[in-house]
Structure 1
Amino acid sequence: MPFIEIRIVKEVIADDPAGKKASIASDVTAAIHKSTGITETDIWIAFEEVSAADWYVGTTSVEELRRS
């Protein structure tokens, strides 16, 4: 069974975390099911939310990049 870990900047989903996670999980599950035939109940997805201030691209935080 596939285990998919999705890391996402928490501010991106802040206005509706449960709804956005459910939508992402549904789309990812559908894509894997379509591509492999694996049943949806055998596809596991975990979300890890990371603050924009704690996620860096090189030496610049995502928070800082968004202000630019």
Structure 2
Amino acid sequence: MPFVNIRVLEGHSQKRKNEISRRVTEAISEIAELPMDAIWVVIEDVAASDWFVAGKPVGEPKG
């Protein structure tokens, strides 16, 4: 059973997360030839202060 863990910055709507989950599930189901109910998707919200790019939190002002 595939388990997909997706981490996103906080602030995405539930509607958007539902759509991401639906599309990921459909793609894996089609490619792996598995029933959709065998695919688990977890979406984790991460605070901008806990997400780093180039050693700096993405929530930090640039400059």
- Please state which band the TM-score falls in when normalised by the shorter chain: 0.7 to 0.9
* Superimposed CA distance per residue, residues 33-61 of structure 1 (whole angstroms, 9 cap, x where no aligned partner): 11111110000001111011110013111
Supply the distance in 2 between the matched residues of 1:41 and 1:53 (Cα, whole angstroms).
Answer: 34
**More deviation, 55-64/41-50:** 55-64
Residue aligning to 2:37: 41
Specify every segment of 5 or more residues in structure 2 that has no aligned partner in the other structure, as ranges: none
Gapped regions of structure 1 (runs ≥ 5)? none
Q: Distance in 1 between matches of 2:52 and 2:59?
A: 9
RMSD between aligned alpha carbons? 1.2
Q: Could you say which residue in structure 2 is the equivalent of 1:53?
A: 49
Query: Which amino acid letter does the alignment assign opposite residue 5 of structure 1?
Result: N
The alpha-carbon deviation at position 22 of structure 1 amounts to 0.6
Moved over 2 A (4+): none
Which protein is richer in helix relative to its size?
1
Partner Cα distance (1:50, 1:37) in 2: 31
